Chain A
Amino acid sequence: MKPLIFASRNGKEILRDPLNLAFGIGFPLVLMLLLSAIQANIPVSLFEIEHLAPGIAVFGLSFLALFSGTLIAKDRSTSYLMRLYAAPLRAADFILGYALPLLPIAVAQSAVCFATSIGLGLKPDIGTLAAIAVLLPAAALYIGIGLLAGSVFTDKQVGGICGALLTNVSAWLSGTWFDLNLVGGTFKQIAEVLPFSHAVDAARAAAAGDWGAVFPHLWWVIGYAAVANTAAAAVFGKKMRSDNN
């Protein structure tokens, strides 16, 4: 119960910051509208909406790391977390409290992204809903990365690492903007070892109703998400003890 109570506070803190909404929902939508406009005026298939929408949805989710990381880092930098440390809460209550409110936000982000895609010509079907569900492990991955960064770095550092570095690395290596085969070589090998392109490919497969192609990619994402969240819980617990020593 306590993680849910703490989660309600964290959800409000995130949603009441207009910058979060602008980056988490507004920016990806602007990009999608822009790229769709480009697609309408070029003769080749570069940004077809069926291909673009899952990629943009993953790009939008990458901002979850910024949200969770900034919140936890800001709390650590003020006496607010000291107040909460004195309350009867365990380390697990804190981690769950920070992570839980971001899951519904992730679903809302993906839903808004696909709804806009439908407006741009995506044919809605069961695959669209499946893609939103398939994106949940990717959301968990970004949340875990944010919690880990927020447990270690200051809020300004989190802004640089999660806001600039992660969103760019994640976007370039996801295959959203261009086919990774076009670059090939080491770039493609790195992209295939990291989870971002797998998250996009899993969502594309789900959106296309190609169920058999979903799971090989999704396992990568689930594995990385498990590692990121386990590391975040361990590091937060350790910092919780050391912050107070």
Chain B
Amino acid sequence: MTAVEAKCLIKEYKGKPAVSGLDLTVEKGELFALLGVNGAGKTTTIKMLCCLTRPTKGDAFLLGDSVLSNRAAVKAKINLSPQETAVARNLTVRENLELIARLYGCGKKAAESRAAEMLDNFGLFPAAKDKAKTLSGGMQRRLSIAMALISKPEILFLDEPTLGLDVLARRELWAEIKKLKGHITVILTTHYMEEAEALSDRIGIMANGELKACGTARELMEWTGAGNFEDAFVALATQQEGTV
């Protein structure tokens, strides 16, 4: 079943294209990575799919609901972990989790129960009573993703989930993200090649606002004849015309 279907999605800022005619299909339960350098259009794409910015042209359907005409239904099904760590700094870890659960419609008891579940799943129990601002960068990012999952979204967007984290924190977070595979549709953006390769079922290469290629890491290497994924990415991201 299709979870995300973008049809000729275009976003322009003052006449300049940020995303140009994006056609994309992501299946339910798939972990899909949008890979590209800074300014490739990844975050703009995520913003359009999350109803945070209105496409200039085109439309996208999330589990059948349009981001243009049925925003409320889309918003109820999705959640997002933004690029920067997005936590309420003076709230405790537990309070941050419960707040998001309640804003998505959970009652008090259900929010407490889900928060306990997230604390457990993400190894945050020891820090449950700590204020978010006292956590390390890696722990804050982990909390940020747990906050995105507590509403039990059918589609989860992770915008550069490991940006700025050290190697150990990144690997820990990868392990958490891998656990989601098959249970929930995940769309993540990254500019780390090894991250896309390690985590994703399929990878979309974006450059200059265009989706240049889409496939598994192995397929992308085969199509370009590259010996490794980084060379495949460079070949695809720098190609002038057409889509693979």
Contact = CB atoms under 8 A, between A and B. Distances in A.
B10 interface: no
A89 to B, nearest CB: 7
Contacts of A83: 80-82, 86, 100, 147-148
A83 B75 CA distance: 11
A244 B53 contact: yes
A85 B52 contact: yes
B78 interface: yes
A87 B103 contact: yes
A6 B52 contact: no
B73 to A, nearest CB: 10
Contacts of A12: 90-91, 95
A181 interface: no
Contacts of A245: 53-54
A88 interface: yes
A78 B85 CA distance: 8
Interface residues of B, number: 34
A83 B144 CA distance: 10
Contacts of B102: 5
Interface string A168-182: 000000000000000
B88 A82 contact: no
Interface string A211-245: 00000000000000000000000000000000011
Interface in B113-166: 131, 147-148, 151
Q: What size tier do the contact residues of chain A reach?
A: 20 to 34
A86 B87 contact: no
A86 B78 contact: yes
Interface centre among A12, A83, A87 (most CB of B within 10 A): A83
B90 A78 contact: no
A88 B104 contact: yes
Contact of A86 (B52, B105, B131): B52
Given A83-B82, A86-B78, A87-B103, A13 B90 contact: yes
A231 B85 CA distance: 31
Interface centre among B50, B90, B103 (most CB of A within 10 A): B103
B99 A9 contact: yes
Interface string A28-41: 00000000000000
Interface string A1-23: 01001101100110011000000
Nearest to A84: B103
Interface string B83-111: 11111111100010001101111000000
B88 A79 contact: no
A216 to B, nearest CB: 41
A8 B91 CA distance: 10
Contact of A13 (B47, B75, B79, B88): B88
Nearest to A83: B86
A88 B85 CA distance: 20
A-B pairs with lowest CB-CB distance, top 6: A79-B82, A79-B86, A79-B84, A16-B90, A83-B86, A86-B80
19 contacts: A2-B103, A5-B102, A8-B99, A9-B88, A12-B95, A16-B131, A78-B84, A79-B84, A79-B85, A80-B87, A80-B88, A82-B86, A83-B100, A86-B51, A87-B75, A87-B100, A87-B103, A89-B103, A244-B52
Given A13-B88, A17-B90, A83-B100, 7 more contacts: A8-B99, A16-B131, A79-B83, A83-B81, A83-B147, A87-B79, A245-B54
